[in-house]
Each structure stands twice: as structure tokens, then as C-alpha cells.
Structure 1
Amino acid sequence: MALATIMLAVASGLSQSSHSISNSTPNSEKSFAKPHALTEKWGDQGDGTYVNPILPGDFSDPDVIRVGDAVYMISSTMQYSPGMAVLESRDMVNWKIIGHVVQDLSAIDRALNWDRMNRPGRGIWAGSIRFQSGRFWVYFGTPDQGIYVSTAEKPAGPWSAPHLVLAGTGWDDPCSFRDDDGQNYLVTTHFSAQGAIQTTYNIHLLKLSSDGLEVLHGYDHVIHRSEGSEANKLYKVNELYYHYYSEVKPEGRVPMMERSKSLDGPWESQQLMHVHGALDKEPNQGGLIQMPSDKWYFVSHQGKGDWEGRATVLLPVTWVQGWPIIGEIGPDGIGNMIWHDWKPVDGLPRRDIATSDEFSSPELQPAWEWNYQPNAAMWSLRERPGYLRLYALPPLRVGHSTSIRNVITQRSLRTSSNQFTVKLDLAGMTTGQESGITHFAKSRAAITVVQSGAIRKLSVAVNGVRTAGPTVDGTTLWLRSDWDFAGRSHFSFSTDGLTYRRLGGNYRMTWGDYRGDRIGIFTSNASGGGYLDVDLVRYETAR
């Protein structure tokens, strides 16, 4: 088995060392005003253009490849399961989550399991996706265990069980690379604390075995070191090796590139883009890609995440004297953020990344992720077809909302208007059980129905402060969260699905542990027992 350099032009059959370079910008025969500020618009505008972000939610640490006409992207998931999301697009603007690489996080770290749940913001970090010899390869890092690899014939899976390639703490942001002679390499960062606050970052180039499953001893080159050196990708274009990385400069974390005629160096470096934490949220970690038109692009997250997390942006790339400059080129020859541009491929339909669900399939839709690895015996789509059944487990620590163990989630998207509605059947609830929907990151809020004997009562809790609501008659209940572009949310409820009443005040959404806000459905019971049936979910967002 072999590893890919990068699939930039699979369909056209270009060799990995002779990719064409286009210096033109997309649809350069046309022009329009390109706003240089964050707006409430996002993604496909329906007129052949797009507005950044293309994904207004927490799709962090992206990497991309193209196989034929399809583009595939991976995104880190930290403690959420299944881990490492895989997305597909035909135009790089409209995306769909099609699967995940890691099905069982507990196989990597038992602390990521439902019975421990003490790895917030850790778990699966950034990685790379490549395609070679008919298989997809994903290498990814976990800060506590090391570097893993998983492979699949199809990007939606099934993926092989993660194999530990490089054990140890502090390994981060790996990318595989296969040279023209067939030798496999891995470029990765190692970070280590020096004292209370200082951390050193070294980027290592390692040789891999022919099957890509182990690091070969005797070859370990440190090819770069600087403050915050990470976000590694390695490419070969027109006989030159290009090592993409990011590093911290006075303006923020910036995209960088170094190139060489040999992997042994010497390397020369070039900054590819300016960043501004407040204005563009520092696009920095991502991947280069060449489309069938021969035009190049850079897909990145915005590293300075707000409550929506690190959203995904798409930027054109212009090759200047052999350097892939990102965005709009300034007088100094370095790129700048572009918010509005022509789509790489026009004519394809819009696609929303938010996912509504009626649970009519025996398998969960890929948009759903659990907070930590769930107990497989405590949820089901088969016991009552057409419903998601969640059984109530005791929380790990009574009174601590962060320790609720059966929480299924999607990302809270940042658009001008967002609404998440669930229809619940409460007939299976029992005394002591509480169920509802919740926002959570650094802070938390929830609308909850609690059962005591035969009485069910509503309440809203915001960071532990509870507002009491009315008693619920009957077993059918609709719960809803609405939020706006600024991250102000409020809860409401309905007993007929038509008329909704607000409960509690506004909640200001946050991010924490390098993750954006999540919207989730949960049930819990300190005494154990009972279940919640989720009939449907309606998740609607504005353009």
C-alpha cells in the first residue's frame, strides 16, 4: 500500500510532480465589489458567487483533496463521536457531511468514553486526507496518544480501525506524503512545554514504511521551528517540494510556505497571507487544492473562533514566482482576506449543512455526533422505528450539567436566523428523569422537562440559574431554540406544534475548549431509568 502526495488532478491524469499552475483568478473576465468585512451572508449566493464563510459553523482543521470531480474534506472533532468528520462537495462551496473516520473513540482513549468523559477539547485533532492506490488515507493526531492512520475504499467508509503510527504525547497536525520514488513520509509538529507558559514547536519530517503503518528509525529531520509552528501539509509541484505551515507573528497566526528542491533542504520561506484576528478571524489551517479548471484554492478555518467555532472559508490562490499567494494580493505581494468571490464550479444546487431528521433510517445521519463516546446500549433507532430512543443514565456527577452522558448534537450555525425544533414523546419518562435540548460550550443553557411522579414540569436553566415553567399535560411536547447572528438565543415550547411560548430570558452563546457552541438533545436521571423518544428534528438556518 502507498500514500498520496496529493490528488490535485486525478481525473486528468497529471503526475504528482508536473501539476500545471494557473496565475489567473476565477472568472477574471467579470468583476464585482468584494466586501472586506464579516456579513450575515454565507456560502452560495445563488448568482454564481459565494460569501465567506462557506460553512458558518465549527468545521475546524480542514484538509481537502479532489478525486475526479468530487472534493473531500476532513474536519477535527475533539471529544465528539464519531470522530473526524468527512464532507463531500462538487463545487467547494456546498458541502454535505457523509461520514466519520473513527467510530469508537474509547479505542483511542478510555477517557473519551461515556463512563469517564474527562477530555474536553482533546481527542481527535487535525489531520490530512490523501488518496492512493484506490484507497483514502487519513492521518490524524491526538495530543495524549500520538499519530494514527485509518484507510477506506470509499470516503463515507467504512474506515479501518485507527492504527497507532507514532506513540507519544505532543504530536500534532500530521500529513502524509509519497515521493515519486515511492518513499513515504510524514510531516508533523511536536510541541512541548518549557516552563509555565512557553512552548517549543518543532516540525519533523519522518520516513514511513512502505505500508504507511510505522515510522522508520534513523531518519528524523527537523525542517522548521518557530513559535506555534503547526498546520502541516506537504506537496510536490513542478519538481519543487512545498511545506505549508502556520506560525505566530505580531499580526497573528499566519499562513506560511517553505519550498526546496530536496526534502533534505535548504528551504526558503514566504508568508502567503496577512491575517487580522478581529477582521478576518485569522484563516491559517487548511489545504491547497487544484480544480479541473486548473485554478487553485485554499480551504481554511478561521482560527480566532467566536461562539460558532472555527468556521470554514474558501480563498483563491494565485501563483506568483512559484509561490501560492492566498487571497487578494496586496502591494507587498502578500495575500489578504477575500469575503466574496466567484464559485469554483457554477450551476450546482445550493445545499444546507444543517440537518433535519425524522429518524426513518436504521442508521443515524452523519450530521449527528455524540458528546463523547456513547453507550451503544442506551440509544436505538430500531426499538421504535421512526424515533430516536434515548435511555436515561445517571450523570457522572449529580448536579453538574457537563457530566450528562446521553447527549446527541449538531453544530450551532451562525446565520441571521436559526431555529432548532424537536418533537418529543414523553411517555417513557419516569420519576427523576429530565429531558430537553441544550446549548453548550464554555457556558450552558437548556430547556428541560422534569418528571416527578405523574407530573411533568418545564424549566429553563442558564449557567445553573433556573427559571420555572408550567406543568405539561399529555405526552407530546415540542421544544425549540432560536438564535441570531450575534449568538443571542432563547427557548420556547409548544403542546400542539403550532403555538409556541417563550420560557426564560436570552442566553449568550459562547465557545470553549477550541470548540463552538453545540445544540443537543439529552436525557438524564440521577436514579437511572426511563427513556425519551425523539420523533423529529427541524433545523432551519437563513442564507
Structure 2
Amino acid sequence: MKSALELSSKNGLWGDQGDGTYINPILPGDFSDPDVIRVGSDFYCISSTLHFSPGMVILHSKDLVNWVIIGHVVNDLTQISPELNFDKMNRYGRGVWAGAIRYYKDKFWVYFCTPDEGFFMSSSIRPEGPWEPLQHMWQIEGWDDCCPFWDEDGQGYLAATNFSDEYKMHLFQMNEEGNQLWKDTDFVFHQYKGSEATKIYKIDGLYYFFHSEVRHQAGKDLRVVMMLRSSHIRGPYEEKELIHSHGEALDREPNQGGLLQTEDGTWYFISHQGTGGYYEGRTLHLLPVTWVDGWPIIGEDIDGDEIGEMVWGGQKPIESYPLITPSTSVNFTNDMLDPQWEWNHQPRAGKWSLTERQGYLRLHACVPLEVGNFFTVCNILTQRSLRTVNNVVFTKIDLSGMEDGQEAGLCHFGTRYCTISIKQEGTVRTIRYNDTGIQSIGSRISQCDLWLRSCWGLDGINTFSYSLDGKNFIDFDERYQLNWGNYRGDRIGLFSFNNKAENGYLDIEWFHYRYGGPQGQ
């Protein structure tokens, strides 16, 4: 078994290798808190989105290796709370946390918690949507990681963790419609330090409660994948560790995720890597699963202790489907944004448009909630920054609608932020570079067409540049280290604001994103 350093960190290999094999990560970007199901020959995965809108992203695959984004569950985050709206911008790291997806009675069901507002669910007959308006099942703080389960008799259950009460894990019964909890059926079935990430399965007549918890191993606290098993849903339970965790240097703690079985009966585990210390965040991984004495072993049992180890590659589960890489580039010719886009908090309606000028995205300038604080700029449109060998983002913008006090351009942000922008003062426009408040001023810009570019590699060191003709680019001398923050990997985005008044707009003609392929090229 090759190490993560050999396969990913050094060579930038990932995903489908085109020869019937794959290398982890299968997606080198921030797709944290995954859960997965199979419906027929199709696989569906959800991933938490926290303070980004639309919320709870949905991905589709035919082979468990090649994934594409197809939609979101929550179109409007204000269905959760007004605190997630553009006029608040104070839910960084909160919002839509981990959830679960299931297929039951010919419908897709998604349940999730937010740490401040409690339990939510929605359903749809199509995974890409439209999804039913959110049902707020319980207004309560301090809960996370809920998962539904329907037994053979049709009785529905929901498991979740009360992290504010020493991580007690609870099981409730639900009503027939699956949108209400019967709180008088509350049953605490497990408690340990950091216990969360619950998934419920019934396999060969036994009930399995997948979860992770924090255990002291190898001289430090690590998040470890565990399983409870019983012949009765209320126990008593046996418990077993499923995969060893060794920390950031060796395996980056695979933990949150879901088990599933392919049509040929083979089992797999889709997981994120819990350590998000790199700029790409918590990436998506695929691990084989074997069963011994009624217990799943995740990864590879190297030393014969019936506990798995992280696997960094293997044979594709299904080899008949071609390599597909995530869509990132767009020309703004549709009347809807493509599903890879997400706004930083709920956007301000009426201040962006795909129809005011056909073929362009128009971002109207708004005054930030706090002048000088980039994290209070509304209507920042973002995508995930991938970690590959060579990443280049180009965008072509039209400055003709800009007005005094406006600033607009291309950004990266995590814990810190960095922008390349045009700032207009009076009638004078200048190119600017801003690294979390430390600014450099470039040349004056007299024309309306401008091209902006961002380049970074495996190390995440970014270079911003601009061009007056789309061919010859001028680099800023400064370099910016991409970083993660608020449980999210780095985001690249487009923005427009005005510190003086609600005046001006930016027209974006296209956004093209090229990145290194799975084979590292």
C-alpha cells in the first residue's frame, strides 16, 4: 500500500486513473460529511454546505469514482434562519451540517441538523430536485448528524447526537409521514467522547449503528470509526472499531461517511478525511469493505486484527463507465446558475441577474454590512478550490457599469482572504491586490474589457494576474497561501461591492476553470 504522500501530496494523482483503477481522493476538493445510497445502478451522495447557499449539495455517480454535482436540497437558507441571510452574514461555520440521504417509498429523503436551529428534512421524487420546502421538525440547539431509518414494519426512526449534552446519541420514532419526531420515544443508545456521524443500517436481520468518536490512540486524541450491533433496535449492543486512525501525517482520519452495497453484492465506504488542514478541505474517499463474522472491516486489514487501515487506491468498483471530472467552467448563457456554484450566505435578491444582459452574470454592488470587512460582503458567488497539480481560473469581465466607490473582481477566502480587483474612485479605475487588508495598487485601467486570472498548484500558493487582451498576463509579485476556515476548504469566487453607495455593477462574460486531471497531468 503506497502512502498518501507518494500518491496524492507529491504527484497530485486522484480519482479515475483510466486503467480500471482509482486513487484517493476520488474528489480532491471540499466534499465533507458525505452520505451515500444506491438506487438501482445509480449512486447518490450528499455533502454538507454550512453557510453556503443553496444548501446540502447532491452528487451523482455510476461507478462510485466519477462524481458530478446535480443539485442542492435547500434553495433558500432563510427557510432555516434569517441569520443565514445577506443582511446578517454571521453564520460562518454553522448552517447546514452533516445529514443523511435515503430512498424510501419511491422518494429521496434528506435529513440534517443545524447547530442553532435543530432538525430539518425534505423529500423529492428526483434527486436533482425540485425538493419539497423544508420541514422544521424540532427547534432546538446543540444537535447534529441525524439519520433516518425505516424498519420492515414501516416504523420510522431518527438517530442524532446531542453534542451539547456530552455527545449523547439519541433514537426517536417518527410519524408515518417522516416529518415529525415522537419525543416521548426518546432513547439514549450510546455515549462517548465526540460520538457523532450516526448512520443506521439493517443487514441480515441485525441493526447496525455506524458512528465515530474521539479515542486516545498513538499518544493523541484521534477520531475513530466505530459500529454498534444488535438483534434489537434498542439493544443491547456489541461494539467494534472498523478502521484504525493514525492522524494527519498518515491517513488524515477518515471517519464521517456511509456504507453501501453495489449491485454485485460488494461493499464500499465513502468517507471524508476528517483532518482539513490543507487548503482543499475535507476530501472525498472510497474504501473497500469486507465482512468478517458479521462485522464490516473498512479499508485493508494489514496486521490481521480485523480492523482496517486506510487504502489509497484500488480497482474501480464498476469499470464500464468513462472518466468524468467535475464541471467547473461556465459561460453565463443559461437562465439558472450551474449547480457547482454556491453563494456565501443567502444572496440578496435583485442584486444579481443572468437576464439583465443576455450571456452575462451581472453582480450589482452593495454596501458591505461592515466597511472594510470582506466577510460581510453579500453576493459573493463561489466554487470549491480543488487541490491538483495545476489549477488556473480565468474570467472575463466588463467594467462599463462600474461607478464611484465600487470594487469588484476575483477572490479566494478561507480563514483569510485575497482579492484581485478593479476599484473605481471618481472616474479613475485601478487594479488592486488585497491580502486580508494589506493592499497593493497596480496600474490604471482605461478600457472596459479585462481578464483576471488565478493560478495555484499542489502547495496552494496562489498568483493573481490580469490581462488587457486575454493573452498577455501581468502577475502581481505577491503570493497568497490558500487556506481553509470555518470547516470549509478554500473558495474561489466573484464579488462586487461599493463602500459609498448602492451604485454600479459588474458584468462577467465567462468563468473558466482548468485543473490537473486524475492522472496528475
Contact 1:354 1:541 in 2 (8 A): no
Match of 1:192 among 164, 167, 176: 164
Q: What's the offset of the Cα at 1:420?
A: 1.0
Counterpart Cα distance in 2 of 1:300 and 1:36: 15
Matches within 5 A, 1:235-314: 235-251=201-217, 252-278=222-248, 279-305=250-276, 306-314=278-286
1:395: Cα distance to partner?
Answer: 0.4
Instruction: Give SS of 1:192's match.
Output: helix
Contact 2:143 2:164 in 1 (8 A): no
Residues in 1 aligned to 2:198 and 2:36: alpha-carbon distance in whole angstroms? 13
AA of the residue aligned to 1:536? W
Structure 2: how far apart are the matches of 1:376 and 1:168? 29
Q: Distance in 2 between matches of 1:284 and 1:126?
A: 12
1:222 partner letter = V
Equivalent pair of 1:367/1:410 in contact (CA under 8 Å): yes
**Contact 1:459/1:503 (<8 A) preserved:** no
Counterpart check, 1:529 vs 2:495: no
**2:106 is matched with which residue?**
134
1:233–1:243: 8 Å Cα contact kept in structure 2?
Answer: yes
Q: Which amino acid aligns with 1:435?
A: A
In structure 2, distance between residues paired with 1:469 and 1:50: 44
Q: Which amino acid aligns with 1:73?
A: C
Corresponding pairs, count? 505
From 188, 191, 206, the equivalent of 2:172 is 206
Identify the residue that residue 71 of structure 2 maps to in structure 1: 99
AA at the equivalent of 1:523: S
Identity of aligned residues (%): 50
- 1:219 partnered with 2:162: no
The amino acid across from 2:175 in the alignment is S
- Is the contact between residue 57 and residue 414 of structure 1 (CA under 8 Å) also seen in structure 2? yes
- Report the aligned-residue RMSD: 1.0
Match of 2:109, as an amino acid? Answer: W
Relative distance call for 1:53 and 1:434 in structure 2 (3 A) is same
Any conservation in 1 of the 2:68–2:327 contact (CA below 8 Å)? no
How far residue 276 of structure 1 moved from its aligned partner, in angstroms, is: 2.0
Do structure 1's residue 83 and structure 2's residue 55 form an aligned pair?
A: yes
CA distance change for structure 1 residues 151 and 173 in 2, over 3 Å: closer, same or farther? same
State the secondary structure of the residue aligned to 1:111: helix
1:453 aligns with 2:426: yes
- Report the counterpart of residue 383 of structure 2 in structure 1: 410
Say whether residues 1:467 and 2:437 are aligned partners: no
Q: Which deviations, in whole Å up to 9, do the C-alpha atoms of 1:293-316 show, x marking residues without a partner?
A: 211000001110021111110000
Structure 2 unaligned residues grouped into runs of 5+: none
Tell me how far apart the structure 2 counterparts of residues 138 and 504 of structure 1 sit (CA, whole Å): 47
Aligned letter for 2:243? M
Letter in 1 for 2:205: E
Q: How far 1:35 moved relative to its partner?
A: 4.3
Shift of 1:453: 2.4
For the residue of structure 1 that corresponds to 2:476, the secondary structure is strand
What amino acid maps onto 2:340 in structure 1? A
Which residue does the alignment assign to 1:17?
Answer: none
Deviations 1:48-97 (A, max 9, x none): 11110011111010000011111000000000000000000001111110
Runs of 4+ in structure 1 off by over 2 angstroms are 33-38
Correspondence for 1:170? 142
Distance in 1 (alpha carbons) for counterparts of 2:423 and 2:286: 44
Question: Would the aligned equivalents of 1:35 and 1:340 in 2 still touch at CA under 8 Å?
Answer: no
Separation in 1, partners of 2:184, 2:327:
48
Paired letter, 2:237 = W
Would the aligned equivalents of 1:354 and 1:540 in 2 still touch at CA under 8 Å?
no
User: What is the rounded CA distance, in whole Å, between the counterparts of 1:506 and 1:42 in structure 2?
Assistant: 26
Alpha-carbon distance in structure 2 between the residues aligned to 1:430 and 1:522:
15
1:97-127 deviation per Cα after TM superposition (whole angstroms, max 9, x unaligned): 0000001101211110001110100000000
Say which of 199, 203, 209 aligns to 1:233: 199
Cα deviations by residue, 1:217-250 (Å, 9 ceiling, x for unpaired): 3211111100000000000000000000000011
1:388-403 correspondence to structure 2 within 5 Å: 388-403=361-376
**Alpha-carbon distance between aligned partners in 1 of 2:138 and 2:372, rounded to the nearest angstrom:** 39
C-alpha distance after superposition, 1:514-539 (max 9, x if no partner): 11110000000012211111100111
Q: One-letter code of the match for 2:410?
A: I
1:372-419 residue CA offsets vs partner (Å, 9 max, x unmatched): 000121111111111111100000001111111120000011111111
Q: CA deviation at 1:347?
A: 2.9
Partner of 1:540: 514
